[in-house]
Chain A
């Protein structure tokens, strides 16, 4: 994501000392790739060394993958209703998660300090602000874990942005906080390790009907909505159009983050896309199941329709399960296929952006290949390599697939959540919504989202009826 000037005038005057602090160091993309790669490899090694001796290839015995010792070093607040302290205990296992939460915070501070060091900044300057930011991250997680909030899929990025905006618009960017505001580094590192969770082999989980539902509809809706926003609605920012199209057609917040990174969207644009996605997700999650029952649609077709259209994964499962067990299974699997498309879509968007959208009008003095490489967001390579590596290991066999699942569920997934969450806190503090005000007033992004989603609903219902309701009917 590209940087934009901060909202406070104070920050402009204070930016000089921070720049002075930064010595010559690595670009944040390279720092994110190195640290991300180290974390993915560490998690795989730890999971491998702790593999169970008894039937290691039995998926029924190890449904969440092999145990990962690193899972004891990271967790997030659990669901609570009226007392946040309840969030320190896992209701199911009755385990106290206070220590893993604190250790998770330590991981984030350590990653931030190492990143600062690689980027030529002073790690000690990062520490003061870093500790403050990670405490805010923990607060955002607690806000997201409230039962009402969680049950309607109001995910943590929303609350992280809110916490950041409150800080940025009240006390502003404090001088001691500035060295720790490396949100783009946190998000890019989160995206690199997120690559380990994007497994290509999952794309074939539902065979042909799944492929048709996810692969035919999703790219059509993504491209049609993007072109509609750019050429019909004439939204000036192409990156905003792409981010909204991706979060609406693929899988909500996670797709928005990956695509925003690929097309170098501004922080404000990503925030707007996430806000739109979460707002419409709640509406669709509540409205779609009763509507499907009302029109007496087949449960399996209804599940596939939900899976292909509702943005957020959690909301898809919740809406699918309210139709029935089978609808829930189909909805979750279709969404998982869409989830797995993020890697290819982010890579494709990055190539398109570097090769066509950002093409300068000047006569080319160097080769096109060099120009594309120069503008290409390098961290996407880390994201893609992590995805290819883990997909390769996953397809090697039953044991290897449990290794990848254990690594992702036990450590990579929770760590990615913390990294995104602190990234959004930084974004909130630095976000300048005034730049987006004219666009918001015009209502064009909302029109784009609504019309794109309408196309998505019609196409997905048609393809789901054709595949799950006719060609491959139960």
Chain B
């Protein structure tokens, strides 16, 4: 109870304390929770698959990709490019 009260009053009055608390939560999620999630079998396979094929799944635009997209070679025989 005392600790809860202390935390509440600290949160209300001190922005830097709130910032430290948020930063700690972010650190726990990124340094402990997410690495554990990455090690779950299905996720690990997904990551491994992307790494094998050099796919940068976080790309926002095509120029962010490891390899610039190229059209499949068969398509040139099938379609007329102009």
Contact = CB atoms under 8 A, between A and B. Distances in A.
Interface of A: 63-64, 81-82, 84, 92, 143-157, 166-167, 169-172, 194, 197, 202, 204-209, 251-254, 285, 300, 312-315, 317-318, 321-322, 326, 328-330, 332-333, 335-336, 339, 405, 408-409, 412-413, 417, 472-474
Interface in B46-81: 46-47, 49-50, 53-65, 67-72, 74-75, 78-81
B63 A207 contact: no
Given A169-B18, A409-B68, 13 more contacts: A81-B35, A146-B35, A148-B37, A150-B57, A152-B57, A166-B26, A208-B79, A313-B59, A317-B56, A317-B57, A328-B53, A405-B68, A417-B60
B33 to A, nearest CB: 9
Contacts of B15: 170-172
A254 B26 CA distance: 26
B59 to A, nearest CB: 4
**Max chain A C-beta neighbours (<10 A), residue from B62, B72, B78:** B62
A178 B56 CA distance: 35
Contacts of B34: 146-149
A148 to B, nearest CB: 4
Contacts of B68: 63-64, 405, 409
B50 A474 contact: no
B75 A317 contact: no
A197 B58 contact: no
Nearest to A474: B74
B7 to A, nearest CB: 14
B60 A207 contact: no
Interface of B: 15-16, 18-19, 22-23, 26, 30-31, 34-35, 37-38, 43, 46-47, 49-50, 53-65, 67-72, 74-75, 78-82
A336 B57 contact: no
B57 to A, nearest CB: 4
Contact of A314 (B18, B46, B64): B64
A148 B58 contact: no
A388 to B, nearest CB: 17
B80 to A, nearest CB: 6
Contacts of A253: 60
Contacts of B67: 63-64
Contacts of A81: 35, 38
- A-B pairs with lowest CB-CB distance, top 5: A314-B59, A332-B69, A82-B35, A207-B79, A170-B19
A148 B38 contact: yes
Nearest to B61: A254
Given A170-B19, A314-B57, A151 B47 contact: yes
Nearest to A252: B60
Given A148-B43, A170-B18, A405-B68, A315 B78 contact: no
